[in-house]
Structure 1
Amino acid sequence: MTNKTESTQENNQVEQETDIQEELQTEQTIEIQDEPNLEIDELTIAQTRIAELETYIAEADSRERDILLRAKAENENIRRRAEQDVEKAHKFALEKFSKELLNVVDNLERALTTLEGADESVKGLAEGVQLTHKELTSVLNRHGVQGFGEVGEAFNPEMHQAISQQPAEGIESNCVSVVLQKGYKLNDRVIRDAMVMVTP
C-alpha cells in the first residue's frame, strides 16, 4: 500500500509540475502576444499624433501665407490711395484760387458787354478789357480750367443750374436757351455750374 501511495503521490507531483509548466508557457505566450499589441497601439497613436501635427503645421503655414498676402494687399492699397491723393492734390490744388478768379472773369465779361455799344472815345478801354479777359482766360485754360455753357447745348443737371424755362426759336426742347453765367470745370471736375434758362 505504501508503494501505491508513493506512486500516486509521485504521479500527482508529476501532474502538478506539468500543470505548472503549462501555466508558465501560457503566461509567457500571453505576455509575448500582449507586447506586440502594446507596440502596435503606441505606434498607431504616435502616427495619429504625427498626422495631427502635420495638419496643424500645414494650417498654420496657410494662415501665415494668408496673413502675409492680406498685409501685402493692404500695403499696396495704402500706397495706391496715397498716390491718388497726391495726384488729386496736384490736380485740384488750384480749385479755390480758380473759383476766386472766375468772379474777375465774370466782371471783365460784363464790362465787355457794356462797352460793346460805346463810342470811339472808349475804344481803347474796350480793347484793353478785351485783351485782359483773353489773357486771363488763356492762363486759366493752361491750368486746366475750361468754361462751358453755350446756347443750344443739351441741359445736364450735373453741369447746369436751371433758373427757369424760356422758349426760344430754333432750339430743341430741354436745351439751354439763355446763359446767365458760364460754368467752369477744373480738370473735368465741375467747380461752378452754369446758370441757364432751358427750353420747355
Structure 2
Amino acid sequence: MHPDTVEVLDSSEDTVQVTEVEEENDNDSVAFPEQHIAQLEQQLAEVSEKANLYWDSLLRQKAEMENLQKRVNRDLENARKYALEKFVSELLAVKDSMEMGAEAATKPEADLTTLQEGLTLTLRMLNTTLEKFGVQEINPHDQKFDPQWHEAMAMQPIPNVEAGTIVFVHQKGYQLNDRLIRPARVVVAKAIE
C-alpha cells in the first residue's frame, strides 16, 4: 500500500485504494507471466531437444548391443562348428597312413616287417597329434593305485609287491590337459593272506 493510504480512515476509500493497488499488481502480473511463459517454452524446447538427443543415443546404443549380441552368437556358433577343424585335419594324416598300410597288407608282395614299421610310424604319428592337442596317455604300471585316475578291474595277491600297486594295465587311460577322459583300467596287487 501507498503511504497516503494509511492516513485514510474511511473504509470505502481504503477499499478503493486496495483495489487500485491490486489492479496495478494485476497489470504487472499479466506482463510477467507472458515473459515467464516465453522462458518456460524456451526451456521446454531445450529440454525436449536434449531428451531427443538422449533418446536417439539410447536407440543407437541398443542397436549396437543387439548387433554385438548377434555377432557374439554367430562367433560362438562358428567356434562350436569348427572347434575340431584343426584336430580333425591332423587326424586325417593318421587315417591316410592307416589306409595306405591296410592297402599294402592286401598285396601279395607285402612284407610283414615293412607293415609293422608302417604301423609303428602311424601309431607314433597319432600319439604326436594327440599330444599336440593336450591329450596325455595314462600308463600307470608299477604306480600306486589312484581311484581318480585308475579303474581297478581286478585285485590279485602278488608276492614281493606292495598292496595297492598296479601290476598290469588292461587299457591305458587318457587325460585332456588336466581333465580325465578315460581312466586306466588296471589290475592291482592286494595283500597276501
Question: Normalized per residue, which structure has more helix?
Answer: 1
Q: Which protein shows a greater Rg?
A: 1
| TM-score, scaled to structure 1 | 0.49
